[in-house]
Amino acid sequence: MEIMMAILAGFLFSAATYLILSKSLLRIIIGTGLLSHGTHLLLLTMGGLGGKSAPVVADGVTVADYVDPLPQALILTAIVISFGVTAFALVLAYRTYQEIGTDNMDYMKGRGEID
């Protein structure tokens, strides 16, 4: 299972990289979103996926049966932070379009002409 999840995370990283290398600002931001997902899944996978019980104290569950709670806490923090950054980036893209009228990275450099 962990190997499959590692491959899945790698796939998400590949797709994210491909999108980040494209010209459209929106696709770049979508790429960063995929990158976050890949990272979060990888974090979870590296903690081990074999737990029998959610990390909430319950009767009749031994300590060894709980899923590792630490990666979950880390991921929760990471989700919130990446949400903050994504929201900021989106508004930045929106404002960029308002000011300079394009979301094409090539034109932002002043390489092509803005018609």
Partner 1 sequence: MLLFMAIVLPILLAIFIPLAYRSMKSIHTGWFVLLAPVLLFLFYLRFLSPVQQGEAQLARASWVPSLDFYFDIYIDGLSLLFSLLITGIGSLVVLYSIFYLDKTKENLGNFYVYLLMFMSAMLGVVQFDHTLALYFFWELTSISSFLLIAYWYKRDASRFGALKSMMITVSGGLMMLVGFLTLYVLTGTYSIRETIAQVDTIVDQPLFTVAVVLVLLGAFTKSAQFPFYIWLPDAMEAPTPVSAYLHSATMVKAGLYLVARFTPVFAYSEVWVWLVTGIGLLTLFWGSLFAVKQTDLKGILAFSTVSQLGLIMSLLGLGGFAYLVTGDAVETFTFATFAAIFHLFNHATFKGSLFMVAGIVDHETGTRDIRKLGGLMSLMPVTFTIAMIGSLSMAGLPPFNGFLSKEMFLDAVLGLLHADISTMTVAYLVPIVAWVASVFTFIYSIYFLWYTFMGSRKEEQLPKVPHEAPIGMLISPAILGSLVILVFFIPNVVGDWLVKPATAAIQSSSFASAADIEFYIKAWHGWTSPALWMTVGVVVVGFLLYKMLPKWQSIYSKWPERFTLNRGYDTLMDGSLNWNRALSDRFMTGSIRDYLVYMFAGMAILGITTLFTQGGFAISTEGLAPIRLFEIVLTIILVGSVMAILITWSRLTAVIALGGVGYTVALFYVIFKAPDLALTQLVIETISVALFLTAFYHLPKLDKHYKGKEDTSFRLGNFLISIAVGLTVTLIGISAYAQRQMTSISEYYKETVYTEAGGGNIVNVILVDYRGFDTLFEIGVLMIASIGIISMITLRLQKKKKGVTVDEIE
Q: Which of residues 1-30 bind partner 1 (CB under 8 A)?
A: 1-4, 6-15, 17-24, 26-27, 29-30
If the CB atoms of residues 23 and 60 are measured against partner 1, the closer one turns out to be 23
68 and 51 Cβ atoms separated by less than 8 Å: yes
Our CA angle for 49, 54, 60, nearest 5°, is 120
If the CB atoms of residues 50 and 60 are measured against partner 1, the closer one turns out to be 50
25 to 64, contacts with partner 1 by CB under 8 A?
A: 26-27, 29-30, 33-34, 37-38, 40-42, 44-51, 53-58, 63
- Residues in CB range of 43: below 8 A, 6 or more apart: 71, 74, 75, 78
If the CB atoms of residues 4 and 60 are measured against partner 1, the closer one turns out to be 4
Provide, rounded to whole angstroms, the least separation between the CB of residue 60 and partner 1: 14
Q: What is the rounded distance in angstroms from the CA atom of residue 114 to the CA atom of residue 22? A: 19
9 and 44 Cβ atoms separated by less than 8 Å: no
Provide, rounded to whole angstroms, the least separation between the CB of residue 30 and partner 1: 5
Q: What is the rounded distance in angstroms from the CA atom of residue 79 to the CA atom of residue 83? A: 6
71 to 100, contacts with partner 1 by CB under 8 A?
A: 72-73, 75-77, 79-81, 83-88, 90-95, 97-98
